Chain A
Amino acid sequence: MNHPAGHTPAEPKRWLDHAQNVRKIYYSVWIVCGLLLLAELFIDKHGDVEIEHWFGFHGFYGLIACVALVLAAKLLRRALIRPEDYYDNH
């Protein structure tokens, strides 16, 4: 098993190490989402459930679900978090 030390000074920077490239990825997620909404104008969405036919239903549902999930989990953590050695001492 390896327990390596820190950076090698000579290590070249990777594409992802540049902040502007991370920003590119961030904005491209927005653009892809926009395109997926636009695509709905050309594709007839049919599902097993009536609300699936609403414009952008799956997109907005996923967005709201995930934001709600993370915010709820943050609240939950306040109540549940314990130090790593909790069970060793109890």
Chain B
Amino acid sequence: MTITELSPGLTLILGSVLIPLLRGRLRSAYMVLLPLLGLVHLSLLSTGEFGVLHFVGQELVTLRVDRWSMVFGWIFMIATLISAIYALHLRSPLQATAGFAYAGSAIGAVFAGDLMTLFVFWELTAVTSVLLVWAGGGLSAYRAGMRYLIVQIASGMLLFFGALVQLNATGSISFEHIGLDAPGGWLIFAAFGIKCAFPFLHNWLQDAYPEASEVGTVFLSAFTTKLAVYALARGFAGEDLLIPIGAAMAAFPIFYAVIENDLRRVLAYSLNNQLGFMVVGIGIGTELSLNGTAAHAFSHILYKALLFMSMGAVLYRVGTVKGSELGGLYKSMPLTAIFCIIGAASISGFPLFSGFVSKSMILSATGMEAYMVTWAILLFASAGVFHHSGIKIPYFAFFAHDSGKRCQEAPANMLIAMGIAAFLCIAIGVMPGPLYALLPYPVEYVPYTSSHVLAQLQLLMFSALAFSVLMWTRIYPPELRSVNLDFDWFYRVPLVRVTQRTGAALRATLGAGGRGVSAALGGLVLRLEAQRGPSGLLAKSWPTGSMALWVMVMLLAYLLFYYVG
């Protein structure tokens, strides 16, 4: 097998093993060279299916190269390079090793040609990335990491079970367009939806990302959710249900972003909002909208990493990213402030910055296909994202009321990483041609017309006016030390209590009348046997499937009880 038949994900995963063995400058050089090698590896690939393995009668395609996998492969590898440079100041090799293995898993998943290979890499992203959350340190990061892991593993289980249902019905595990009506379609849709932070399945994102280390969040922001966007685009393009889901994702998180005090959590909410644009693009399913989704994922990874890097630098130097504690940092960290503003301008879609040339493709496709309500919601979300990410983040961190905090500028490696990301944000905005050439379908879209530039500038400047007036008149809600309840409250408070009480009640009953319980359990076992036996309901069509399901349920229950207990 030559290197062109090997997944570029494996380059990073196998390469990550060496990181803990190296020290000092040698390790730093290796961490920069490895993703560069990955970029070379990508450039050597040719279209087609390679690295086919045979496993229990099925063909596993470990390397499928086409325009969809390549555009995500490129941006994932670039994000790996930037994140690696951002991590160079760390003495301990743990985060870099986990980060490379995580990035490699995401790239491996993108190049997977079948659902089993996808599943393996899907779960690998979960177990490698949780180390980055735990690297945040402390009990709250540990607990957030456990919640994160449970949700991610559950997503993988749904994917696995969906794949088995598809295998049972069609005899194939290949990963092509699936659709909701296909066998296992809903299971796979839910698996992708969890990782893509659909409404009510989203809280793991806002919960875990702000708890991760400053380096960890940069890695995390690039891969997991965009892997889900890629998977949705491949499996569910043109699925109408995705349009309202995406619109809800674009709109609701911005209300939370306005009142959230932890600036990295604000960024997590706006990440969720940006995913909404991509999901709408997938739902519309035209060549323009799908191109828009791929282009927006590409530019989004860069500006989101840039914003998280700037806040990570603040966290590293000041020790907090709470809006209520910050302000006036432009005096101490002027370069970080400039990079943050470039990221902010990009996410807001200012002309000459990357968001402008990618987000507008999705908006345009929405308007052209006459989804008027969705179009209006996305336009609202565009104004809103400028408001909370474009203005609020740089304003409260670097300007606003001078907190009196003085610190050093960010370390050189962080500045270099931010500089590369900032350069790419501007380069894509000024010269979108090379990005458009990478997209899955031919591009006829022209972003720079006088009408479009004027419309966007009006939208953004009047949003800035709204912010200025509300600040001037002191109507704008101040940053307060607080948490705001979100959907995760349901499983962090009532669910935990119910489980604890059930456990206590169970123990009490067992002490008092153990026989009654064992009789009841015996009855349950008998009923299960009736369903699972050779002629039972669950065993009728897919014995391996039901077996796998129960193993998954048990594993999930174990994790849940481990967490709650």
Interface set of A (CB-CB < 8 Å, partner B):
1-8, 11, 14, 16-17, 26, 29-30, 32-33, 36-37, 39-40, 43-49, 52, 56-63, 65-67, 69-74, 76-77, 80-84, 86-88, 90
Binds A, one of B34-42, B450-458, B511-519: B450-458
Given known contacts A4-B406, A45-B454, A87-B492, A82 and B482 CB-to-CB distance under 8 angstroms: yes
Q: A82: nearest residue on chain B (CB-CB)?
A: B483
B27 at the interface (CB under 8 A from A): no
| 6 additional A-B residue pairs with CB within 8 Å, beyond A7-B404, A61-B380, A65-B380 | A29-B468, A33-B461, A63-B462, A70-B466, A70-B475, A83-B483
A-B pairs with beta carbons under 8 A, tally: 167
Please name the 8 residue pairs, one residue from A and one from B, whose CB atoms are nearest each other, closest first. Answer: A48-B367, A66-B466, A73-B258, A59-B458, A58-B458, A62-B462, A59-B462, A62-B459
Q: A28: nearest residue on chain B (CB-CB)?
A: B468
Q: Are A66 and B384 in touch, CB under 8 angstroms?
A: yes
Contacts of B470 in A (CB 8 A): 67, 70
A4 to B314, CA, bound (A): 13
Q: Are B384 and A65 in touch, CB under 8 angstroms?
A: yes
Q: B484: nearest residue on chain A (CB-CB)?
A: A80
- CB contacts under 8 Å to A, within B442-483, are 450-452, 454-468, 470, 472, 475-477, 480-483
Contacts of A33 in B (CB 8 A): 458, 461-462, 465
B368 at the interface (CB under 8 A from A): yes
Binds A, one of B2-10, B91-99, B189-197, B315-323: B315-323
Q: A16: nearest residue on chain B (CB-CB)?
A: B399
Task: Give the size of the chain B interface in residues (CB under 8 angstroms).
Answer: 61
Q: Are B482 and A81 in touch, CB under 8 angstroms?
A: yes
Which of A17, A26, A69, A83 makes the CB contact (< 8 A) with B255?
A69
Residue from B330, B464, B493 whose CB has the most chain A CB atoms within 10 Å: B464
A24 to B481, CA, bound (A): 31
Identify 14 residue pairs between A and B in the complex whose beta-carbon atoms are under 8 Å apart, listed by A's number: A2-B317, A4-B407, A33-B461, A36-B458, A36-B462, A46-B451, A62-B383, A67-B466, A70-B476, A73-B256, A74-B259, A80-B486, A82-B484, A84-B482
Contacts of B379 in A (CB 8 A): 58, 61, 65
Q: Are A81 and B480 in touch, CB under 8 angstroms?
A: yes
Given known contacts A58-B455, A62-B460, A82-B484, A43 and B404 CB-to-CB distance under 8 angstroms: no
A48 to B239, CA, bound (A): 22
Given known contacts A39-B454, A52-B455, A1 and B255 CB-to-CB distance under 8 angstroms: no
Q: Are B458 and A62 in touch, CB under 8 angstroms?
A: yes
Q: Are A2 and B318 in touch, CB under 8 angstroms?
A: yes
Contacts of B318 in A (CB 8 A): 2-3
